[in-house]
Amino acid sequence: MDRKKFIVTAGLGLGIRPWRVAAALGASPAGGPGAATFLTAEHGLPAGRDGITNGLKQPVTYYNDWSSYDELSDNTPLTEALAMKELGELRRLQSAGVHIDYYMMDAFWFDKDGGYRTWHREHWPNGPDAWLQGCKEAGIRPGMWFSTNLIATHSGLFLNVIPEWKDSLAVGGGTFCLFVGGYLKHLGDTLQMWYDKGVRAFKFDFAYFDAATGEVKETHLPETIVEMNKLALMDMLQRFRVRNPDVVITGYNGFGGDMENTFTPFRKTVDPRWMETFDTIYCGDPRFSDVPMMNIWRSQDTYTDHMVRQFEFNGLPLRRIDNCGFMTGTTGTCYYRADNAWKGMMILQLARSGWMNVYHGNMELVDGAFFHKAQTLYTGLQRYGMCSTFGAIPGTGEPYGFAAEGANGSVFTVVNPSQAVASVELPLQEASGGRVLYTDGGFKPTVSGRTLRLGPEQLVVVGYGAYASFDLGVDETIRVATSIEPVPVTFVAAGANGIRATFTPPAGKHIRILFQQFGADGYPRRSWGGAPPDGKKMDAFLQLRVTRNGAAVPFRKEYDKMIWSGLSWGAGEVAPVTGPLTVECRSTEVEPLTLKAWVYGVTY
């Protein structure tokens, strides 16, 4: 069967809109050669782009319970008891004034043999009715996670193939072809079933558009397979939206983006047609950037800030980027972060100006009063203000920020990821009356006119006009250095993938050591130690040793974690000492790598 005949037969047989079939053949959706053949009354559809979404109508607050459990790394299961506990925490936050719109039930709510129509029989023996009713009573709209077409991980199948899906099963047995067989139709009917039971948000994850049955794979080009899989999903979801216009549909893994690091040059990877289907597209699960920092959680913030800029480069308005940056929790998926530096994480979640404000994990770790104040400051600006990014690309390690200009003032949220005190010129026309609304502890930032001075690795929020009266306080759980200066140190090779230096530290200073490994291409090289509970901590791969007169010197470090997403650097800090110090940095990777290290004298 030739390509044109296959696209026509498969596309129209599946019910894909004729204009999409025509587009796949290179014809204009509104007409042109070949299009008239398909745009006929028998298909019951107009020759226009019906079902296109312009995204959310206003900012929403969207709780997701992932990272309060974790079935991909440390095997903490999702249970009804856990879900109802977190629903209770949402009600506690509501009583503090926090506005919450959705509760997204993330992965593994389903029974392995139920085809997405039955909840996990062991963990939800009574099904979801109590949870659905609890959400209704709280005025919260429920949501559900679906894998787009993946049913297996490295641990094996997480869903068994039901009879309705068999003729869509792709080569390899772990994915489904979306334009052949019964899988996609069954999935669409399933979505409608849950909508009829009150579900109003649907999250799609793990899309594999190269999935093809054996027959399709043997007879069609890979690019044709990808295109038809995309068209089939787009069409099904758009039809679902036309029937149910109040749904929220979000796209996660598989819909574009370079998410593995923060040094790859930006490139176009997001198909803009997804914005006709999804209200928002996410820009990556929280992980650590390739900017070394003593405060590892600030490096994680910088990763998400960098991803927002990448998706902005891809043409997405800020309001339609789900930055997914807030994730508290006691599981391995969030690196056992718990509530470390959660206030800054929440501020950045809001400041990035996406209308999908997602909060993951253990809400019992979150203070409702602060949540309410931060939400009050930012959500009106998200909806009515002019929101933008400014400064450096975050992955470069230089200062950057997010601006929100309202009718009666402006708010600037600024991050300095560098190892220096920085002065940042805020993009403001009339600069008077600025006031610091929030800061990390330690260094005391100042604002004079439009110039903000802030410390190394510090987050600061500045308000002008009516917003200068807000007060989000100081997070004293974070210690930002009050001064920092480079210490000139020469490192020399010390065996394979190792470097060493001996120097006399400046008197009275803490000694901060940052080091990073680079591959033959000159880019940072991440090491992966695996996920909990059996993974290795990063300091086993990226080794730092400090000695004085041959004896080990203790030092503070925060990168000694199992990090499923990998890490390219290490950091440590030695309390003030006298006498020469020897610092040795080493990578245990087998391939030849280049190591670089930087030393700073800091005070607090």
Asked if the structure places residue 433 within a domain, the reply is yes
Residue at a domain's end among 480, 502, 536: 480
Q: Which amino acid is at 583?
A: V
Q: Do 214 and 246 belong to one domain?
A: yes
Q: Give the per-residue pLDDT at 324.
A: 97
Averages of pLDDT over each 10 residues, the chain, 604 residues: 43 48 41 28 34 83 97 91 98 98 98 98 97 98 98 93 98 97 98 98 98 96 98 98 97 97 97 97 97 98 98 98 97 96 98 98 98 97 96 98 96 98 94 94 97 98 96 98 98 97 97 98 95 91 97 98 97 96 98 98 98
Asked if the structure places residue 525 within a domain, the reply is yes
Asked if the structure places residue 48 within a domain, the reply is no
Q: In this structure, what CATH number is given to the domain that contains residue 452?
A: 2.60.40.1180
Q: Do 239 and 129 belong to one domain?
A: yes
Q: Give the per-residue pLDDT at 244.
A: 97
Q: Give the per-residue pLDDT at 245.
A: 96
Return d(Cα 411, Cα 349) in angstroms, integer.
14
Q: Taking Cα atoms as reference points, which of 338, 331, 363, 365 lies closest to residue 69?
A: 331
Q: Do 413 and 495 belong to one domain?
A: no
Asked if the structure places residue 52 within a domain, the reply is no
Tens digits of residue pLDDT in 38-58 = 222 333 333 334 445 789 999
Q: Taking Cα atoms as reference points, which of 104, 105, 110, 133 lies closest to residue 122?
A: 110
C-alpha triplet 466, 468, 472: angle, nearest 5° = 125
Asked if the structure places residue 215 within a domain, the reply is yes
Asked if the structure places residue 563 within a domain, the reply is yes
Boundaries of domain holding 351 = 60-384
Asked if the structure places residue 50 within a domain, the reply is no
Asked if the structure places residue 117 within a domain, the reply is yes
Residue at a domain's end among 480, 507, 536: 480
Return d(Cα 355, Cα 57) in angstroms, integer.
9
Q: Give the per-residue pLDDT at 75.
A: 84
Q: Do 186 and 301 belong to one domain?
A: yes
Q: In this structure, what CATH number is given to the domain that contains residue 368?
A: 3.20.20.70
State the SS3 of 439-495: EEEECCCEEECCEEEECCCEEEEEEEEHHHHCCCEEEEEEEECCEEEECCCCCEECC
Q: Do 599 and 531 belong to one domain?
A: yes
End-to-end CA distance of the chain: 72
Q: Give the per-residue pLDDT at 16.
A: 55
Indicate the DSSP class of residue 246. Answer: T
Q: Do 261 and 359 belong to one domain?
A: yes
Q: Give the per-residue pLDDT at 186.
A: 98
Residue at a domain's end among 336, 356, 384: 384
Q: Do 202 and 122 belong to one domain?
A: yes
Return d(Cα 311, Cα 561) in angstroms, integer.
28
Q: Do 305 and 278 belong to one domain?
A: yes
Q: Do 338 and 415 belong to one domain?
A: no
φ/ψ region of 544 (left if φ > 0, alpha if ψ in -120 to 50, else beta) reads beta
Tens digits of residue pLDDT in 136-165 = 999 999 999 999 999 999 889 999 999 999
Q: Do 316 and 197 belong to one domain?
A: yes
Which residue intervals of 197-270 are DSSP H helices?
214-219, 222-243
Q: Do 370 and 461 belong to one domain?
A: no
Indicate the DSSP class of residue 247. Answer: -
Q: Do 286 and 422 belong to one domain?
A: no
Phi/psi at 603 (5° precision)? -125, 160
Q: In this structure, what CATH number is given to the domain that contains residue 519?
A: 2.60.120
Number of domains observed in the structure of the chain: 4
